């Protein structure tokens, strides 16, 4: 879940960024076309007078260098079109397979690409990375950017004995239109030495081999994602569930007990009150009868009306 959201966020960022890049490059290629129209020589510039847009491509994976508005970008310039080294967004290991991907905004019918990796400022120091699908010729050049698409790419294998803290991955696009012109796109990558086993084709359960390591799907783990977490929760998890359940049960029991005790108390109180009342009534009656007896015996002054009446009645009789 987390990985998915990170992926979504980063692709959004990449897209936002690529639009920026595109604007930047469009402006530049317009400049190229001006050069081309004033001096229409091969390799000096391209005439795109009939075309509204120039060939345009954006490196997506690894993420292209961020272009600052102040940078003097000229895509023809080797090795990186004049772009400045930036932060590393891509970490790979020697010998790992990596997908190099790009978006083609404006295609060229016979375009070719070359992918290179290097540290130095000169293109000669760069090593050519050959696509694993063997689509490249001896020089590492393969057809690319011939159709407009949101994602085109090749899987390449990084050299086994090559590491670098901050090196450059270069994508060179050769476009031909009245002479061939190179465009250079770069990304900053890190190749760190770590003893890793090749994992391509070995990751199980839908895991993906990335930088020599299996990235497992949710629910599986292990170096090759060979363990399924859904085999059952661990003992600790079970214990946690049990403890939580017990606490909830205890709380419910306590609540019921409390309510029961309270109700009992109220009932006892009611009963007590009733008993008191009954007793009061009884004692009142007893008192009344005693009084009657007293008055009857004495036949004297009655203390209550009823006794008076009764006395009167008795007299009249
Ligand atoms: C490879 O490059 C060399 C020198 O740049 C060139 O002479 C040769 O024709 C190229 N080979 C292919 C197959 O393009
Ligand atoms: C790296 O390995 C390649 C062959 O696999 C070899 O040609 C090259 O010289 C090696 N480079 C270093 C720096 O060891
Ligand atoms: C791309 O490569 C093909 C075959 O190697 C070649 O015929 C074509 O001229 C190349 N395109 C450019 C623009 O150099």
Q: What is the mean pLDDT of residues 133-152?
A: 96
Per-residue pLDDT of 185-200, as tens digits, reads: 999 998 887 655 567 6
At residue 156 the predicted structure's pLDDT band, cuts being 50, 70 and 90, is: very high
Task: Decide if pLDDT at 250 tops 50.
Answer: yes
pLDDT at 241: 84
Q: How far is CA 97 from CA 30, 47, 154, 183, 276, in A?
A: 36, 38, 10, 25, 93
- d(CA 258, CA 239) in angstroms, rounded, equals 28
Most confident of 69-73, 109-113, 197-201: 109-113
Q: Which of 64, 54, 104 has its CA nearest to residue 87? A: 64
DSSP H or E segment with residue 159: none
- How does residue 134 score in pLDDT terms, banded at 50, 70 and 90? very high
**Atom 13 of ligand 2, nearest CA residue:** 161
User: Which two three-digit tokens encode residue 34?
Assistant: 């001006």
What spacing in Å lies between the alpha carbon of 139 and ligand 1's midpoint? 6
Task: Give how far the C-alpha of residue 304 lies from the chain's centroid of Cα atoms, to the nearest Å.
Answer: 93
**Site of tokens 């004297």:** 300
Who lines ligand 3 at CB under 6 A?
110-112, 137, 174-176, 180
Q: Is 138's C-beta closer than 6 angstroms to any atom of ligand 1?
A: yes
Task: Please check the confidence at residue 103 and state whether its pLDDT lies above 60.
Answer: yes
Q: Which of 25, 23, 49, 18 is nearest to 36 (CA)?
A: 49
Looking at the DSSP bridge assignments, the partners of residue 188 are 168
95, 117, 159, 164: residue to mutate for ligand 2 pocket, most atoms within 8 A of CB: 159
Give the ligand at the shortest distance from the Cα of 137: 1
Atom 12 of ligand 2, residue of closest alpha carbon: 161
User: Residue 127: which of 104, 94, 90 has the closest Cα?
Assistant: 94
Residue 204 C-alpha from the chain's centroid = 23
Predicted pLDDT of residue 29: 40
Radius of gyration of the chain (CA): 46
The best mutation among 94, 118, 126, 161 to test binding of ligand 2, ranked by most ligand atoms within 8 Å of the C-beta, falls on 161
Instruction: State whether the beta carbon of 49 lies less than 6 angstroms from ligand 2.
Output: no
Q: Is the pLDDT of residue 107 over 70?
A: yes
Supply the pLDDT for residue 89: 82
Mean pLDDT of the chain: 76
Beta partners for 173? 113, 183
For residues 305 and 30, which has the higher predicted lDDT (pLDDT)?
Answer: 305
| Least confident window among 151-165, 201-215, 238-252, 296-310 | 296-310
Give the whole-angstrom CA distance, residue 142 versus residue 155: 12
State the distance from the centre of ligand 3 to the C-alpha of 163, rounded, in angstroms: 32
Reading phi first (left if > 0) and then psi (alpha if -120 to 50, else beta), residue 128 is in beta
302 pLDDT more than 60: no
Rounded distance, CA 51 to CA 177, Å? 11
Q: Which helix (H) or strand (E) holds 16?
A: helix 2-38
Number of helices and strands in the chain (H, E): 3, 13
Is the CB–ligand 2 distance for residue 161 below 6 Å? yes
Compute, in angstroms, the gap from residue 161 CA to the centroid of ligand 2: 6
pLDDT at 303: 52
Q: Which of 17, 28, 19, 21 is nearest to 54 (CA)?
A: 28
- Say if strands 180-191 and 90-92 run parallel, antiparallel, or are unpaired: parallel
Q: Which residue has the higher pLDDT, 203 or 267?
A: 267
Answer yes or no: are the C-beta atoms of 81 and 56 closer than 8 Å: no
């Amino acid at each position: 879940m987390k990985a998915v959201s990170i992926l979504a966020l980063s692709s959004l960022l990449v897209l936002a960024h690529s639009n920026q890049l595109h604007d930047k490059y469009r402006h530049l290629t317009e400049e190229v076309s001006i050069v081309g129209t004033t001096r229409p020589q091969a390799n000096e510039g391209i005439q795109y007078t009939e075309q509204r847009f120039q060939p345009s491509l954006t490196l997506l994976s690894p993420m292209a260098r961020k272009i600052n508005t102040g940078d003097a970008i000229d895509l023809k310039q080797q090795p990186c079109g004049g772009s400045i080294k930036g932060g590393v967004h891509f970490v790979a290991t020697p010998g790992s397979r990596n997908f190099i991907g790009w978006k083609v905004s404006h295609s060229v019918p016979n375009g070719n690409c070359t992918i290179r990796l290097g540290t130095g400022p000169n293109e000669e120091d760069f090593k050519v990375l050959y696509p694993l699908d063997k689509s490249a010729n001896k020089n590492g050049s393969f057809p690319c950017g011939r159709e407009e698409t949101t994602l085109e790419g090749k899987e390449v294998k990084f050299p086994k004995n090559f590491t670098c803290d901050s090196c450059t991955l270069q994508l060179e696009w050769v476009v031909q239109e009245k002479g061939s012109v190179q465009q250079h796109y770069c990304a900053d990558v890190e190749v760190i030495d770590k003893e890793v086993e090749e994992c391509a084709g070995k990751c199980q359960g839908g895991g993906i081999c990335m930088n020599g390591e299996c990235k497992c799907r949710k629910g599986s783990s292990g170096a090759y994602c060979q363990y399924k977490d859904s085999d059952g929760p661990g003992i600790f998890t079970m214990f946690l569930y049990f403890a939580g359940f017990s606490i909830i049960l205890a709380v419910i029991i306590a609540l019921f007990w409390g309510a029961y005790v309270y109700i009992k108390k109220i009932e006892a109180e009611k009963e007590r009150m009733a008993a008191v009342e009954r007793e009061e009534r009884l004692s009142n009656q007893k008192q009344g009868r005693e009084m009657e007896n007293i008055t009857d015996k004495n036949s004297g002054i009655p203390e209550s009306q009823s006794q008076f009446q009764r006395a009167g009645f008795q007299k009249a009789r």
